Amino acid sequence: MSQSKRNNIIFYSILALVVILSISGTAFAIYKHKENVDKNGVTNTPKEDVKPFLTFKEVSKSDTIDIFKKYPINPIEINFTKGKVKISGLKDKEIENKVNEKLSVLTVEESEFGNNCHINTNVSNVLSISCAIETVNVNLKTGEEITIEELFNKDSDIYSFIVKSSYNSTCMWGICSPEDNDSEYDNNIENTIAENLQKIKNNDYILSVNTKNAVLTYESKEDEFSGIYLEYYDFFNDITIYDRYLDNSIYEKDITNYCEPNNCADKIYELLEKDNNGYADAGHFINDKTYVNFRINNQNNIDPDYNYISKEITELNLKDYINLLEKEILKKEKLDTEGNNYAYIYINADIYYHTANDYQVYYQINKKEYKKEDFIKYHLGFNEAKEINTKTINAVNMLIDKNKKISYLSDNPTKDIPNFETKLYEYIMQELKKAGNDFAGYDTCYFSEDENCEEKRDYHNLIKEASFAIDKVNNKLHMYEEKPGMYEPISFVSARISLDVFNDTPLNVIKKINEEEALSLFDKKGLHILYFDSVPCEPCRNLEVELDSLVKTMNINIYNTSLNSSNTFDKLYSKLDIKTIFEEKEATYGELLKNSKLSPTVVVIKDGKMVDGFIGFKEAEDITKIIEKYK
């Protein structure tokens, strides 16, 4: 074949190939296009004129809620008199009249418990007051009523928020479980939400603007009301109600009080209520990322063993103590938060007399860490926000004196008590046999599926885990242990144990005891003398002198309990079953003490039983003869 011929063949082959490829390529492209159209094409559909079921007015753009910011509490007077609600304190009297006219729909009803009205919000120039079901929400800047749209922002998807909130509110009480196979609930949920949306469409609801949520209340059945709760924590990037009307110039008085969104509700009422009982709930940010809530608990507790100093402390200005204690505790416990986490620190404290001059502070710290978004939600009231870490600390050894100087008891106060662990363990074992004892809550088996859980509990571990402190005033050992659980602790022990438990050797002084301790003498081995006195009682004072001398020379335990105390001693009297004759009548010592409160009365207890006794003054020599019989 000639070169020229060969070239022609090659040329025309290439040309033919190009033509074939082009045609094939085109055909393939057409096929692919058709396939896509086939799958995706929506044809022959008239353009839908989509009219949403609910429409919302457009609002102007505004800043959104900042939980770290302090917002001003409106410095206005709110009066509930003559059946009406009225405010005063705005500079612009025309607007003030406008607001009062709007408030005039509310009817105030008085009762022995107060009136039927509630201030939902009074912050950031927003005012919302409810009396029974009726509610008025106004902004104090223009006097206009607040609408749902104004809670949110310009581009907020309000429709979705309402649908979502409606669902959450319907399912609030846990009736919408995924495991629930009851179709009634599934269909009823959708119908309930449909009804809610219809009510909103018909404007058939009452809006209530609160500090952490807004509620749409509507009548679900005759005289029955339900609410859709728009929780701010669900939409915190869209809530503008705290910032929308901010303007400090509209008031006659200066703004002096501020609050953060999480505590505005409390702060508003704190300012209104004159009889503040004095204990401060000082929740605040201590830095950008840490919120501390410090609470002193022992306000109204009544414990016959202890003199609570709450009353005294309120007179001494509780707030100073709280600030000081909070600072000290945070310094000591080093509660820094790692990295980008945010933290909530709860501190609960109880304060007791330690000696006449100082107070002992128990505190429990609960620290929870969150990522920023979850922290914001938690701060706005979402209790199920996801925690990253939690930490619990219990401490019982801090002291503060009347000059507010802080010191610490030994971290290991029991180290000088001989055979401490052995004796404590024996004591615990004895106590566990009694109903209602202090140690039954250790590693509680309430949540355990192990049948042998209770048997497996090791109280040696409890002794290792617990915190201890010595209470000199009352001669007691304080013991504290806790393991927090989700809703309640999975282990909780708080006990006050007489230090006598750790003593084998007799005391060299007459020991003052209470009824419980007196009763415990009937559980012990050995010889014990118990005498009852009262005030005034001169023979008692004289007898004391005699007994005092005996306690040292005879090396015996002598205890004293006062008939002036608030105890009834009934259980104790039943143990004093030896009969005697007094004023020609026969009765047991117990009966005589119960009926006549004779003092001084002395009883001798040996190995848990009363064996002898006497009433009235006796000299040391005579007392010795009685006691010698049983030694």
Partner 1 sequence: MKKKVIISIIVLLILAPSCFFAYKHFTKEEPKVPDKKPQEELPVTEDLKGKFANSKLRVDASLATQPLMNAYAKYFGDEDFLNEVKENYTNTHPGYVKLINGETDLIVVTEPSAEELALAKEKNVELEVTKVVNEGFVFYANAKNPVDNLKLENVIDIYSGKINNWDEVGGNKSRIIPYQRPINSGSQTGMLSLVMKGVPLREPTTTELVATMGGIIDAVANYDNNIDGLGYSYYYYANIMYRTPNIKFLGINGVKPTYETIENETYPLMTAYYIVTRKDASKKTLEFKEALLSNEGAKVAREAGYVPIKKK
Does position 13 interact with partner 1 (CB under 8 A)? The reply is: no
Pick from 1, 2, 42, 203 the residue near partner 1 by CB under 8 A. Answer: 42
Cα(338)–Cα(389) distance, integer angstroms: 10
Yes or no: say if 97 and 149 are a contact pair by the CB < 8 Å rule: no
List binders of partner 1 among 50-69 (CB under 8 A): 50, 52-54
Question: Phi and psi of 325, rounded to 5°?
Answer: -65, -40
| Cβ 114 to partner 1 shortest distance, Å | 32
Strands 290-296, 342-353: pairing kind: parallel
At its nearest, how many Å lie between partner 1 and the CB of residue 185? 8
Q: Return the closest-CA partner of residue 284 out of 303, 298, 266.
A: 266
CB 531 within 8 A of CB 503: no
d(CA 288, CA 617): 71
Q: State the first-to-last Cα distance of the chain, in angstroms, to the nearest integer.
A: 143
Residue type (1 letter), 280 = A
Q: What distance in Å separates the CA atoms of residue 344 and residue 330, rounded to the nearest whole number?
A: 13
Pairing verdict, β 557-562 and 511-512 = parallel
Which CB atom, from 149 or from 465, has the smaller least distance to partner 1?
149
Cβ-based nearer residue to partner 1, 5 or 625:
5
Of 45, 60, 249, 452, the residue at the interface with partner 1 (CB under 8 A) is 45
| Integer Cα distance of 186 and 184 in angstroms | 6
Residues 142-181 close enough to bind partner 1 by CB under 8 A: 157, 159-160, 163-164, 167-168, 171, 176-181
Q: Which of 275, 278, 270, 268 is nearest to 298 (CA)?
A: 278
Binders of partner 1 among residues 184 to 213 (CB under 8 A) are 184, 186-191, 193-195, 197-198, 201
Residue closer to partner 1, measured from CB, 15 or 429: 15
Select from 232, 165, 171 the least CA-distant residue to 379: 232
Smallest gap from residue 13 Cβ to partner 1 (A): 13
Is the Cβ of residue 185 or residue 425 nearer to partner 1 in the bound state?
Answer: 185
Q: Which C-beta is closer to partner 1: that of 171 or that of 399?
A: 171
Longest Cα–Cα distance in the chain = 160
Closer to partner 1 by Cβ: residue 232 or 442: 232
- Indicate the residue among 161 and 439 with the shorter CB distance to partner 1: 161
Binding marks (x or -) toward partner 1, 99..138, rule CB under 8 A?
A: ----------------------------------------
Q: Is the dihedral of CA 236, 237, 242, 248 positive or negative?
A: positive
Part of the chain binding partner 1 (CB under 8 A), chosen from 88-96, 182-190, 254-262, 344-352: 182-190
Binding piece for partner 1, criterion CB under 8 A, among 43-51, 231-239, 307-315, 330-338: 43-51
CA-based radius of gyration for the chain: 39
Of 40 and 403, nearer to partner 1 (C-beta) is 40
Candidates 29-37, 85-93, 529-537, 551-559 — which segment interacts with partner 1 by CB under 8 A? 29-37
Question: What would the 3-class secondary structure string for 541-608 be?
Answer: HHHHHHHHHHHHHCCCEEEEEECCCCCCCHHHHHHCCCEEEECCEEEEHHHHHHHHCCCCEEEEEECC
22 near partner 1 (CB under 8 A): yes
In the beta sheet, which residues pair with residue 350? 362
- Contact status, residue 211 vs residue 264, Cβ threshold 8 Å: yes
Distance CA 107, CA 103 (A): 9
- Identify which range of 33-41, 146-154, 397-405, 572-580 contacts partner 1 by CB under 8 A: 33-41
Distance between CA 590 and CA 583 in Å, rounded? 15
Cβ distance to partner 1 smaller for residue 170 or 560: 170
Least gap, CB of 35 to partner 1 (angstroms)? 8
Among 2, 40, 111, 412, binds partner 1 (CB under 8 A): 40
Give least dist CB 386 to partner 1, A. 14
Out of 6, 9, 13, 15, the residue judged to bind partner 1 by CB under 8 A? 15
Q: Which is nearer to partner 1, 178 or 536 (CB)?
A: 178
Both tokens of 580, joined, read 């005697």
- Count the site residues for partner 1 by CB under 8 A: 60
Q: Which residues bind partner 1 (CB under 8 A)?
A: 11, 15, 18-19, 22-23, 25-26, 29-30, 33-34, 36-37, 39-50, 52-54, 157, 159-160, 163-164, 167-168, 171, 176-184, 186-191, 193-195, 197-198, 201, 221-222
